[in-house]
Amino acid sequence: MAYTLVEAGMFQIIRSPLQLGTAIRNARKGRGWTQHDLSALSGLRQELISRIETGHEGTKLSSIHALFAVLDLDLVVEERNARNTQGTEDIF
């Protein structure tokens, strides 16, 4: 299974906490927001946002959902297929 991040019609396959954190950071920066801005809007602590953006593995899904809601992102879960799998290095 792969998670697909959807923003403004663009899709990004996410297969690790670091990739998810990078995608969240890019979405935040794309809006010109600081971590403090995102913290105020999401109700999450800035320190938690920093941990998520650097790929911390112990993040609650509810925290990710809160960030996605504020950043206007969607999360799609789908099975992998030959079309979206480039190699085993993408899996881990």
Q: What is the pLDDT of residues 17-29, one digit of tens each?
A: 999 999 999 999 9
Is 0.85 topped by the overall pTM?
no
Phi-psi region of 9 (alpha: psi -120 to 50; beta: other; left: phi over 0): left
- For residue 13, the cross-strand partners are 4
According to DSSP, the β-strands at 74-78 and 10-14 are unpaired
In the structure encoding, which two tokens stand for residue 90, read together? 């993408």
Six token digits for residue 91: 């899996």
List the CATH number of the domain containing 63.
1.10.260.40
Query: Using one digit for the tens of pLDDT, what is the confidence trace for 63-87?
Result: 999 999 999 998 888 787 755 555 5
How far apart CA 71 and CA 5 sit, in angstroms, is: 11
Q: What is the pLDDT of residue 85?
A: 53
Give the chain's domain count: 1
Per the structure, the complete domain to which residue 29 belongs is given by 2-90
What is the model's pLDDT at position 84?
53
